[in-house]
Structure formats: C-alpha cells, structure tokens
Amino acid sequence: MLGATLGAKDYMERVCREIQRLDMGQVERFSDLIEQAYHAGRFVFICGNGGSGSNASHLCEDLAKCTLRDFENQKRLKVLSLTDNTAWIMAVANDISYENIFLEQLKNLASPGDLLLAISGSGNSPNILKAVEWANRNAMTTVGITGFGGGKLQALAQHNLHVGIDDMGIVESLHQVVFHWIIDDIYRRISGPATVTSTGAK
C-alpha cells in the first residue's frame, strides 16, 4: 500500500511512472484480440476477484455499450462478465468449490474460438488459473491481466497485459486506465473515424 507511505504528490508521480512503463505492444494486442472476436462473432468472457471483479464488470459494460455508435442497426460485441451471475457463483462455491466459479460457467457457455480475459493482480488466484487452464484446453484464446510479478497466470495465458508493480491499488487502477483506452480504440475500429491522431506522430 504505497499510499500509506507516500504523500499525494509522490503517489501520483509514481502512478505516472508506472503508466510510462506499460508495454504498448501488449496493450495494442489486447485491442486486436477483442476486434478479432467481434468480427468473428465470438464471445468475450471476463473474470476477476474483488477489485478485479469490479473491473471485469465495468469492462464488460463498456465493451457492450460504449463501443457502439448505432444502437439500432450495428452488429454487437458478444461480451459477458463471469463475476455477475451471483446465484450461480454462490451455488458452485457452496456445492463444489470457490475455485470452480468461473470454470463451471465456461463449461456452460464457451465455445472454441471464444476469448477469455482473466484478471488477477497477483496472477495466482486459483479460480482464475483453473478457468484459463480449461480455456486453453478447449481452444479458446486467453489473456492474462496481471500485476506484481505476474504469478502463474502470466506463464499460463496465451497473451498478457502486465503491470509490474507490487501495489494492488495501482495495479487495478492501471488496468482500468488501459481498459478505458481499449474501449475508445474498439469504438474507433468498429464504429468511429477511420483515422486516429497520435501526439507522437510525424
């Protein structure tokens, strides 16, 4: 908890430095995979625990709504957050195991070629790892969205978005910063203008 030892200015400066350290190749590949799922008519599933679960819900809502220009006629992105089916999660956790809450939903809903966005700040959440293992075995595309050292998820997922800082609050915040750019970029790709302005472009 860096905020417990840093003043406001130092904390914000650290956040800015961590943003500069992000791998833009990973960020852009993330957007590529969502666009590919959209054009192929594949489902995008998202999962996470705690704050990452909230980020999963938020990303799902934004991908579904904020990437659209024409709400009446436009093709929709198929996207679902596995964190939001509360009764199913509680039933699986109670009757089987909390480690299976995302895996069992994928067994019901997922098909080969679908995309799984798996968020775990530590990279070691057992329910995330089990979902990704199953997705890999069943011909899905997987993205591990991690912090800290990346944990087991970074090696297990086919693609990654990594925020390499040992502070969960900053990890979750930077994930959300990236997600908001992804939303805008997907809007540009499927709904918006044909060109995008980059401040660094010549």
C-alpha 7 chain-centroid distance: 30
In a domain, 200, yes or no: no
Provide the domain count of the chain: 1
Is 197 inside a domain boundary? no
pLDDT value of position 86: 95
pLDDT of residue 7: 85
| 138 assigned to some structural domain | yes
Q: Give the CATH number, domain containing residue 39.
A: 3.40.50.10490
- Residue 86 inside a domain? The answer is yes
Per-residue confidence (pLDDT) for residue 82, from 0 to 100: 98
Determine the pLDDT at residue 202: 42
Domain that holds residue 186: 2-190
CA distance 96 to 101: 9
- Which of 199, 197, 173, 180 has its CA nearest to residue 66? 180
- List pLDDT tens digits, range 76-127: 999 999 999 999 999 999 999 999 999 999 999 999 999 999 999 999 999 9
| Low-confidence spans in the chain with pLDDT less than 70 | 3, 193-202
